[in-house]
Amino acid sequence: MKETIVWLIHTPAGTVGLVAAVVALFAIKGASLHRKAGRYFTVSMLIMLIAGFIAATIKDSPGDMLLSAVVMYTVFTAWLTAQRKHGETGLLEKAAIIWIVVVGIAALVLSADPGEAGTPDIYLFWAGFAVFCAIGDLRNLQRAGLTSIQRVIRHVWRIGFSLVWTALALTDKIVKTLGENVKEMPVDQLFYIVGIPTMLMLTVTMYWIINILYFSRKRYSRYGGHVK
For the chain, the structural domain boundaries read: 2-88+145-220
For 150-196, the pLDDT digits (tens) are 888 999 999 999 988 887 877 777 776 766 666 666 777 777 777 78
Residues contacting residue 82 through CB under 8 Å, at least 6 positions apart: 38, 151, 155, 226, 227, 228
Q: Identify the CA nearest to 202 among candidates 167, 164, 171, 165.
A: 164
End-to-end CA distance of the chain: 37
Residue 227 pLDDT level (bands cut at 50, 70, 90): very low
Answer yes or no: are the C-beta atoms of 195 and 188 closer than 8 Å.
no
For 76-86, the pLDDT digits (tens) are 999 998 887 76
pLDDT at 72: 96
Q: Identify the CA nearest to 42 among candidates 93, 76, 8, 91.
A: 76
